[in-house]
Structure 1
Amino acid sequence: MSSVQPATARSRRTTGRTRRRHLAAAAALALVGATLTACSDDGGPPVITWYINPDNGGQGRLADQCAADSNGAYKVDVQVLPTDASQQREQLVRRLAAKDSSIDVMSLDPPFVAEFANAGFLKPFDAQDEQSLTEGVLKGPLTTASWKNQLVAAPFWANTQLLWYRKSVASAAGIDPTAPDFTWDKMIEAASGQKKVIGVQANRYEGYMVWINALVVSAGGEIVTNVEAGKDAKPAIDSPAGDEAARIVGDLARSPAAPPAMSNAGEEEARSAFQGPTGGFMVNWPYVYSAAKEDVAGGGIAQSVVDDIGWARYPRVKADVSSRPPLGGINLAIGNYTTHPQQALDLVKCATSLKNNIAYMLDAGNPAAKGAAYDDPKVREAFPMADIIRQSINDAGPRPITPYYNDVSTSVQITWHPPTDVRAPQTPQETAQFMSDVLQGRRLL
């Protein structure tokens, strides 16, 4: 995808017991592929290896720029991880469990930070570096960068979902999606009345967890609490907030506003439905706006479709409670076994600077983690919804921050799928019990 990786943190899961066996066994495995030598062949500056998630090449160009700006202090070799986040995680875990010193810097999905830090894979930042790496960072991504009161990752870019709507549909329904009290219930009613659909991510993958978590936290709840207790964390989804989330998912799935094959829909399926003749509303990442313009240039849709697109903050669950939009993005972390910690730190500082936050947002289309980036004139021209993106990232509700995130997420995905079967209070109750059993090793995923 040209502007963002909508499959952030998409993964197949293992149980806590299986993962622990996997981590232990991985240390005995041969390293996957050849590792880089510490220095270039000509005896020049150290080569810093940066493992990245796939993008449009923006991280590679940023790596070249940072190396040039270092005045010869280091070179950067970019290694691209698989597209699927579970495979990204697996490749990094195998190498780090074997204490691979070639992993100097890595681009990590926020949900993986706690797991990697808890396993000792990440080099914590010193107190004197913490201020420069967190200065001006929006509150949402900042909450994902620490573990046990230590900064272990630097927010690089952030992401959030907005409510996208067809202006003509909203007008015909007599509603204002930008109103402060606009809710999921109002949206479902309006779409059903106009015989239009609402694009969501409801396939059994991480995007579905993103939606469910956003509903739960927007209703004032949490999916799991006491996360630092590891396997003894307490499932909290069996709650009034969990019930509200289940009600909304089930109501939409069983309503006329459900798009065809909703239970198999990801980001792109939602976008396709939204841009089609029955499109009315959609929750999705900001990349969809530039993607729609690219579709016009490629002849896939008419300019009138783009002209009809409006945007607003993520819908509320309760009319009198502000929504907590989804949070995505990428954090940069330093491998704990690097032999070049200073050069790796210099690269992280360079890549996460305000100047490069702006440059990367304009190049790759991924929203910046630093708030001041949204005041840049070029950013505001490219992203006319910049203020809403910034506020949504700042107010976003992160997914559970726990070293057992894989188990937590998959427990939810399994018990909430298909969405047509989701009901309150049965589904949250089932999830809480299943999650507890998985964390304790009593059941397998």
Structure 2
Amino acid sequence: MKRIQFAHSPIRRVIALASASMVAATLLSGCGSESGPPTLTWYILPDNGGSAARAEQCAAASGGAYKVRIESLPSTATAQREQMVRRLAAGDSSIDVVSLDVVFTAEFSHAGFLRPYTAEEKSRLTAGMLPAPVETGMWEDKLFGAPYKSNAQLLWYRKSLAAAAGVDPTSPSFTWDDMLKAAVGQGKKISTQGQRYEGYMVWINALVLSGGGEVLQDVEAGRNAKPSLASPAGEKAAEIVGNLARSSAAPVDLSNAAEEQARATFQSEQGMFMLNWPYVLAAARSAAEAGTLDQAIVDDIGWARYPRVFADRPSAPPLGGANLGVGAYSKHPDQAVQLVECINAEPKATKYMLDESEPSPYAASYDAPEIREEYANADLIRESIAEGGPRPLTPFYTDVAGAITQTWHPPASVTEQTPKESDQFVADVLAGRRLL
């Protein structure tokens, strides 16, 4: 999941999103009547052109088997889900391939919106991939989402300030408590995502998993799954969030901060530590080249594995990314699978990592000379993805995440009572007793 950033009537917003999507359709290789080869429509997550390039290459390489048209989804995870749920619930046959945030694969699979890949297709599509991303595309022992890109958050720090504080963030036993003490001692800030959106759920879930717990148990029970934040791991997670938010190390905008706000604070005079995705290093380098960021700041950036909750237990870095599914109502499912296989070939994933700063789900990508030249932290990214912790793989994820982020927000309000209160609210929402 990288940099998903994220009043009005929800119905009006849905209509507006639909209109914008129709207007923004981009034709890569023909459209219109199906008198010749079929035109496959791929709904993509917004990027800088990498997906369009892959689609164009695959259309050309198909030997006339298909053409490809892309439609760009909205920029936020919530809006992406709204648009696809609305279309697929109506049996939209124009959706041949769709890019989905990893947290929505279970929901769409459970609803019958996606065509499952056969066992043979799964074997081909996931060969050479790291197991953790593949698991995010599974539902009831079948692959519904082929990993398109993966991601894991890292700990970023200012090397000069860590040295001044006498701490080594790369130490295997470096904890959140160590980090908070060092930042407070230096009069600096810890940047992370505290806005009430998916990024905040990423933080809470990672803390709980790193502490040895789970946000939700028995996910296969559906709405009867057991919320489990009221546990030693959940209570420690609440302690970490509350202590940071009420400390001098909390950025003034913590309760409204998404990935880019966190990056801005980290690159300012106040920055010392940051939890964020790998793209931030490339973004900092680009800013230095453009003259908007001092090169000395870029040179001072260090990286390490996601910090531990307990010194004697390895962390579970937040796992993100996106998967490719084939629409259940596609008129051309066989060609759609062919397109997915072409789009997802390892060389294309490696190139996408270079062009878009989006990590590859393939283990071998991180050994490619061009990747190692561009990413000094390639081994750390691969390790973090391989040992990363997913958010709950439940078809009711939206309800679960919404209930948790609502009860844990703002971060400064989190206390030892929050996990218990959150469990009750999640259970009530799943059971239909309360609304978000």
TM-based fold match above 0.5 = yes
In the alignment, structure 1 residue 292 sits paired with structure 2 residue 273: no
**Identity of matched residues, %:** 55
- Offset from partner CA, 1:195-218 (integer Å, 9 cap, x none): 110001001111000000000000
Q: State the alpha-carbon separation in 2 of the partners of residues 359 and 280 from structure 1.
A: 32
Q: State the one-letter code of the partner of 2:419.
A: P
User: C-alpha separation between the residues in 2 aligned to 1:313 and 1:262?
Assistant: 22
1:437 to 409, 424, 428: 428
In structure 2, relative to structure 1, the CA distance for the partners of 1:42 and 1:226 (3 Å cut) is: closer
Contact 2:2–2:151 (8 Å) recurs in 1: no
Deviations 1:344-399 (A, max 9, x none): 00111011111111111112110001111111111111111110000000100000
CA distance in structure 2 between the aligned counterparts of 1:410 and 1:40, rounded to whole angstroms: 40
Structure 1 regions of 5+ residues with no counterpart?
15-25
- 2:128 corresponding residue in structure 1: 136
> Retained in 2: the 8 A contact 1:5–1:54?
no
Kept after mapping to 2: 8 A contact 1:139/1:393: no
The CA deviation at 1:42 is 7.4
Q: Find out whether 1:6 has 2:3 as its counterpart.
A: yes
2:369 aligns with 377
Letter in 2 for 1:62: R
Q: Is the 8 A contact 1:49 1:103 kept in 2?
A: yes
- CA offsets 1:121-160 (integer angstroms, 9 cap, x no match): 0000111111111111112211111101111110110011
2:171 matches 1:174: no
Distance 2:226 2:389 in 1: 18
Q: Where does residue 339 of structure 2 map in the other structure?
A: 347
1: CA distance, partners of 2:213 / 2:60: 47
Displacement of 1:222 in angstroms is 0.4
Structure 2 residue matching 1:143: 3-state secondary structure: helix
Q: What is the CA–CA distance in structure 2 between the aligned matches of 1:365 and 1:106, rounded to whole Å?
A: 21
Between the aligned partners of 1:384 and 1:221, the Cα distance in structure 2 is 32
Give the C-alpha shift of residue 41 in structure 1: 3.8
Contact 2:2 2:277 in 1 (8 A): no
Please give the secondary structure, in 1, of the residue aligned with 2:306.
coil
1:257 equivalent in alignment to 2:254: no
Q: 2:114 aligns to what SS in structure 1? A: coil
Distance 1:436 1:44 in 2: 52
Structure 2 unaligned segments of length 5 or more: list them.
none
Report the AA paired with residue 49 of structure 1.
Answer: T
> What letter corresponds to residue 6 of structure 1 in structure 2?
R
1:389 equivalent to 2:381? Answer yes
1:201-220 aligned at under 5 Å gives the runs 201-220=193-212
Q: How large is the RMSD of aligned CA atoms in angstroms?
A: 2.2
Matched with 2:100 is: 108
Deviations 1:79-110 (A, max 9, x none): 00111211111111111111111100000001
Task: Give the count of matched residue pairs.
Answer: 425
CA distance in 2, matches of 1:262, 1:360: 31
SS at match of 2:325: strand
> Normalising by structure 2, what TM-score?
0.94
**TM-score after normalising by structure 1:** 0.92
Amino acid at match of 1:440: A
Residue 268 (structure 1) aligned to one of 248, 260, 269: 260
Partner SS state of residue 99, structure 2: strand
For residues 308 and 363 of structure 1, the distance between their equivalents in structure 2, rounded to whole angstroms, comes to 24
